[in-house]
Amino acid sequence: MTVARRRTASEQVSAALLSAAETVLDRGGAGAVTVRSVAREAGVAPMGVYNRFTNKDGLLAALALRAFDDLAAAIDVGSDTGSPADRLRRACQGYRRFALAHPARYALIFATGSPASDPASPVTTRGREVFTILVDMVAGLALRAGLDPVDAAQAMWNGQHGAVTLELAGVSQTSDAAASFTETIDALIRGLQT
């Protein structure tokens, strides 16, 4: 019992530090996340952060895993309502909401420098798992002959990622970003099907 209680307390500290790290990330982007800045945010000595996350890369990897969990939840629309295309559309809207609500977390996992660009990182494994949610949805469409669901899912992802990153950067050429996102998704769904 004592051991179990100690572990729980330790996990609570780790969770609190990770929340502090996420606050730093949301405020200043991945570049602002350091052992020192997270310790300051959490009100602990740097050693407390170092002991659990080792360094900046360890912090960013933990934050990226959490971001992928949140993204997975955002695109999870269940499997038993609507047509495959309708479910996919809802998942895409969840994807956009996640990106717009948490641009720094989104950039952490998908922009240059992402821990998911390292094949050896557990973040990359988790990213592939989340991508598989999209693949499974796309596989439910009436895909064109010879079109692999993974390739079709990548095309869907390309469209979503492009739309939300141009929107976030403030450089889109249409005034209604929500409508443009939906049109992009719809065009891709039409174009990938027979």
Residues making contact with its own copies (CB under 8 A)? 103, 107, 109-114, 116-117, 127-128, 131, 147, 150-155, 157-163, 165-166, 168-174, 179-181, 183-184, 186-192
d(CA 119, CA 101) in angstroms, rounded, equals 28
Residue with Cβ nearer its own copies (42 or 130): 130
Distance of closest approach, residue 113 Cβ to its own copies, in angstroms: 8
If we measure between CA atoms, which residue out of 63, 60, 61 comes closest to residue 34?
60
Residue with Cβ nearer its own copies (48 or 159): 159
Residue with Cβ nearer its own copies (74 or 116): 116
Residue 62 tokens, joined? 């933990």
Distance of closest approach, residue 163 Cβ to its own copies, in angstroms: 4
Long-range contacts of 83-90 (CB under 8 A, 24+ apart): 84/137, 84/140, 84/141, 85/141, 85/189, 85/193, 87/137, 87/140, 88/137, 88/138, 88/140, 88/141, 88/156, 88/185, 88/189, 89/182, 89/185, 89/186, 89/189
Residue with tokens 């992009």: 184
Distance of closest approach, residue 159 Cβ to its own copies, in angstroms: 5
Distance of closest approach, residue 63 Cβ to its own copies, in angstroms: 15
Pair 138, 183: CB distance under 8 Å: no
Distance of closest approach, residue 133 Cβ to its own copies, in angstroms: 12
Distance of closest approach, residue 89 Cβ to its own copies, in angstroms: 13
Residue with Cβ nearer its own copies (3 or 169): 169
Residue with Cβ nearer its own copies (93 or 114): 114
Residue with Cβ nearer its own copies (50 or 131): 131
19, 32, 36 from 43: Cα distances, Å = 12, 16, 10
